[in-house]
A and B are shown apart, each in its own frame.
Chain A
């Protein structure tokens, strides 16, 4: 079973920041938080990951709470092309497996 909980859907106006929350209250100390997104009928695309510090790359920012029980993915200036299902996943990459457990994700709709 997935170890994360996400709202099923969110809306965001184009040009505004999209803040997608994720709860992972049972995360263990060596598990990372990963975010992927899936645009309709395509394969999931990696966005960002982090352990405990906030992270930023060209696509997004990841804010992880100090207790690591929740996180927020931030798309600073959402565009229509950001409309997708966003998945938050906890995973320990050095565990000898690359298996990812996907939950139901958040369907983000960006509107003009």
Chain B
């Protein structure tokens, strides 16, 4: 059974640009969550999608957005990149309201 797949694994962008990250959940999982991990702030929740609807959102500016498609794949977008957006972005999928979440390997974004 394939795990959660995130693409790309590594990305370098320039300040002011925008970026789109992709997450393919485990087959059958309908809930997808996104997290940002930085050395200073640790693992922080960005948002959560279920059946193409955002059902929870963390405390991040509007430059961070996401969506989920009918096949449960999800994308997140960050516009007008800032140096502080450099982080490991993690995606997790799970059956809705079930026990464990399965995380992907993450996308390492570096903003220069």
Which A residues are within 8 Å of any B CB, using their own CB?
A: 32, 34, 41-46, 49, 87, 93-105
Contact = CB atoms under 8 A, between A and B. Distances in A.
Interface in B46-100: 48, 50, 55-56, 58, 88, 90, 92, 94, 96-100
A102 B43 contact: yes
B56 A93 contact: no
A62 to B, nearest CB: 13
B33 A99 contact: yes
Nearest to A45: B103
Given A42-B105, A44-B103, A46-B102, A99 B48 contact: yes
B103 A98 contact: no
Contacts of B31: 98
A41 B39 CA distance: 11
Contacts of A42: 105-106
The 3 closest A-B pairs by CB, nearest first: A43-B103, A46-B100, A102-B43
